[in-house]
């Protein structure tokens, strides 16, 4: 939502109604007309919450709303995106005896003793 109405209208339209003393929520993608699946609707006396699922994408969102003023609603939306990951094939590689038990790298100097890291106490000097 834009405070000055300068941005594009939202893609999603939710309709909240009360039927037989129960909240009913419907959702629609206004661009392509696809309907959301809405479930887990709840009301705590101040705010309404529900979960929306877009069947074509599998995207699930948790929605939360509360009335702030006559024409204003605070809205929070968090979503979970579903992905399918495929493991790359694994081809074992046989290591030669020198690769399996590496010694010191060529031209490497011996490691500094652990107690002498070269770090002094305190912050660095500023010049």
**What is d(CA 82, CA 30) in angstroms, rounded to the nearest whole number?**
22
Q: What is the model's pTM?
A: 0.58
The answer to which of 26-35, 58-67, 112-121 has the lowest mean pLDDT is 112-121
For the cut 80, the answer to whether the pLDDT of residue 62 exceeds it is yes
- Mean pLDDT, residues 72-78: 93
Q: Which residue has the higher pLDDT, 26 or 9?
A: 26
For the cut 70, the answer to whether the pLDDT of residue 124 exceeds it is no
Q: What is the pLDDT of residue 2?
A: 59
Report which of 15, 50, 11, 17 is spatially closest to residue 34, judged by C-alpha positions.
Answer: 11
Helix (H, G, I), strand (E, B) or coil at 47: strand
Angle at 59 between CA 17 and CA 88, to 5 degrees: 170
Report which of 25, 26, 29, 71 is spatially closest to residue 48, judged by C-alpha positions.
Answer: 25
Token pair recorded at residue 57: 């994408």
Say what percent of the chain tops pLDDT 70: 72
> Are the C-beta atoms of residues 60 and 37 closer than 8 Å to each other?
no
Mean pLDDT, the chain, whole residue set = 81
- Mean pLDDT, residues 53-72: 92
């Amino acid at each position: 939502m834009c405070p000055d109405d300068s941005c594009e209208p939202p893609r999603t339209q939710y309709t909240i109604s009360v039927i037989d003393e129960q909240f009913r929520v419907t959702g629609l993608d206004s661009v392509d007309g696809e309907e959301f699946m809405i479930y887990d609707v709840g009301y705590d006396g101040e705010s309404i919450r529900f979960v929306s699922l877009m069947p074509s994408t599998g995207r699930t969102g948790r929605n939360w709303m509360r009335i702030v003023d006559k024409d204003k609603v605070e809205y929070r939306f968090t979503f979970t995106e579903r992905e399918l990951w495929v493991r790359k094939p694994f081809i074992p590689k046989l290591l030669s005896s020198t690769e399996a038990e590496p010694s010191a790298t060529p031209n490497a100097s011996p490691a500094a003793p652990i107690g002498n890291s070269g770090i002094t106490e305190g912050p660095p000097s500023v010049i």
